[in-house]
A and B are shown apart, each in its own frame.
Chain A
Amino acid sequence: MNKNIILYAAILIFGLSAPFIFPAFKVQLSILCVLIVLATTWNIQGGEMGYNTFGNILFYGLGMYLCASVQVGMFFPLAEWTESGGEKTFVHTPSQFFQGMAAGLVVAAVVPTIVAGLIGYAILGLRGHYFAICTLGLGVAAGEISGGIEIIGAGQGFTTPPFPNVGGLEARGEFFYFLSFGALVLTFIAVRAIYSTRFRLILNAIRDNEDKAEAMGIETMKYKIIGWMVSAFFCGLAGGIMGGLVGYIDSTDVAFDGREMGVFMVLMAILGGKGTLWGPVIGATVFHIFKEGFWTFFLGWQYVALGVLIVVIVIYFPEGIMGWLREKYPERFGEVIDEADRKAQVELK
């Protein structure tokens, strides 16, 4: 326990000082925080609950659009804003910008949660690959439909309000970094808290055998919906932050980007090791470092590399980094190995 506190304190101090140590990588670090949030929340479904979803991108994109729409719509007519396509006819004052951002993030987190609750009963009744394909369809449908709605920019995209001119050159990067780091800390604390309760055991029971869990008197549907709503809350929040960070929202390339972000979150959680608390964090970090380090070398072959990466990870490394560590150092994970028993097993073989 004592060791854990030191570890958390070290991570927290590193997180708070990172933008000052690596000032050139502020945007990358902010994106990393968002990726960790997405991977961690995906893990609630895919890892703990056994419901492999491609649909969390729906909440992410929804949060992105909602945050930007609220931020603009609170002060200016939304339709004219999107029509002007980011021309500087309307300028947010600093207080308007921050008020809008705060209100926008609240809406971006709450509305996807409600949406998840509403569609949860229908969608979470599906199982296995039907659930996977259904959520895949949901994400793509959301992208296609939002690409046809005029008021949020339709096909030409939506420019989020530019950061106001306060606090010098570094202010924008620092603001978004601390925002996303705050979201990360919030997510991690919340997920850790719910994993330390009976809730996690219920989710694991659903993953291992849903019928038996139901027979044991667990209202599985209720817990599945709650789990999805928790995911949706943080996905929406992450989406809202990411929208402000990128500065431009497009329906299929940024918001409901099933081909990139939607797959990334699955891949990161699997790479780190699903069904563990730290797995998605490690997976997202490794993936992001790999992606930022090597992406530029592929020169347009990124998606080819991504496709190969997915296939290789899924086929050869499905247990992830945490699973590999667990196999290698089982005693670190609290698994006791009886040496005599192990020898007997080997001899039997």
Chain B
Amino acid sequence: MDFMVFQYPMITVQACLDGILLGILFALIAYGMALQWGVMNIINIAQGDLVILGGYIAYFMYLYGIHPAWGVIVSPIIMYFVGVGIYKLVINKVVDRDLFISILATFGISILFMQLMNFAFGADVVLANSGYGTTFLFDSAVVLPNSKIFSAFVSIVFAIGLVIYMKKSKLGRAIRATAQNARAAKILGVDTEKVYAATFGLNAALCGVAGALISITFTIHPYMGLPYTIRSFMIVIVAGLGNLPGVAMSGMGLGVFEEFADYILGTEFRIGSVFLLLVLILVYRRFKLSRKREYLK
């Protein structure tokens, strides 16, 4: 237990800023999850592993002497095809089946990816050094690595870009139509199979962007995927599907919560507190809805 947070107000400022910058990244991953959940009604447990895979792409560019920031461009392109591949191999067989089947199938994919990454890249914690330096605020009381600011900025750019793409482009309209009513969209000539593949690919690409940013800002490790899945799931259920400002806000809230949990409870309980928060949020929503004789569905 460490109550430094309450004694030194600057630590509070630091935690809040760190949390907000981190939360923007979470919101980007959650946006991908909300997209495919809304369109295909699938919860992808392998979401976090896609993030980590994207991170490794940026890390390998760094190892071969390319600046890891280019990973933000390269990683989503590769991940798009990985996502489409996963869709063609597995997801298209579970898309209209029982939800638990899709959860279990993606859980299998998650285990598979985890172990393949462990073989291919080793079990070390790695990070790609961007060499961006740090910014000092308030007489050096608050330290912000520039890479965090960079990653938050890039996430916002990608999120806004995707929103515009979904509004304006033909594929974006097809995706939104399929989300509203897949059958009607099919009747009106939308190739839903293609739309599903593109949606999953777009989700994987978003994960790729987020992963590349995480490898620059934080660290990546083959087994770190599941917490990212849980975080994005949590953000989506708090915000609700299709509520983009809500996703951004709850992402930042989660980031700030995590930073404070880190300071107060200690780093060893950080992941545990995220999972406990998920349970608490679900239980809270269950009691809130049951007062109106409704339930989560």
- A residues whose Cβ falls under 8 Å from a Cβ of B: 52, 122-123, 125-130, 132-134, 136-138, 140-141, 144-145, 147-148, 155, 259, 263, 266, 270, 300-301, 303-304, 306-311, 314-315, 318
Q: Is the CB of A125 within 8 A of B271?
A: no
The CA-CA distance from A42 to B276 in the complex, in Å, is 22
Min distance, Cβ A117 to any Cβ of chain B, angstroms: 15
Contact indicator A137/B230 (Cβ below 8 Å): yes
Q: Is B13 an interface residue (CB 8 A)?
A: no
Q: Is B112 located at the chain interface by the 8 A CB criterion? A: yes
Distance in Å: Cβ of A118 to nearest Cβ of chain B:
12
Bound-state CA distance A122–B286 (Å) is 8
Residues from chain A with a CB closer than 8 A to the CB of B112 are: 303-304, 306-308, 311
**Are B278 and A137 neighbours in the complex by a CB distance under 8 Å?**
yes
B70 close to chain A: CB less than 8 A: no
Q: Residues of A contacting B122 with CB < 8 Å? A: none
Interface SS of A by simple majority: helix
Number of interface residues of B (CB under 8 A): 43
B296 adjacent to A310 (CB under 8 Å): no
User: Among the listed B43, B111, B114, B268, which residue makes an inter-chain contact with A148, where contact means beta carbons less than 8 Å apart?
Assistant: B268
Cβ of B114: which chain A residues have Cβ within 8 Å of it? 259, 303, 307
Contacts A128-B99, A263-B111, A303-B111 known; A141 to B296 CB distance under 8 Å? no
Supplied contacts A141-B279, A266-B104, 10 more A-B pairs, CB within 8 Å: A125-B290, A126-B295, A129-B103, A132-B100, A144-B271, A148-B272, A301-B115, A307-B112, A315-B101, A318-B101
Least distance between B192 CB and chain A CB atoms (Å): 19
A-B pair count, CB < 8 Å, reads 132
Asked whether, in the complex, the Cβ of B99 is within 8 Å of the Cβ of A148, the reply is no
- Which B residues fall within an 8 A CB radius of A? 43, 90, 93-94, 97, 99-101, 103-105, 107-116, 119, 226, 230, 233, 237, 266, 268-269, 271-272, 275-276, 278-279, 282-283, 286-287, 290, 295-297
CB B214 to nearest CB in A, in angstroms, measures: 20
Whether the Cβ atoms of A311 and B297 lie closer than 8 Å is no
Contact, CB under 8 Å: A52 / B43: no
Q: Is the CB of B269 within 8 A of A128?
A: no
Q: Determine the chain A residues whose CB is within 8 A of the CB of B101 once the complex forms.
A: 314-315, 318
Chain B residues, Cβ within 8 Å of A259:
111, 114
Residues of chain A within 8 A of B266, CB atoms compared: 148
Complex: chain B residue closest to A143, CB-CB: B272
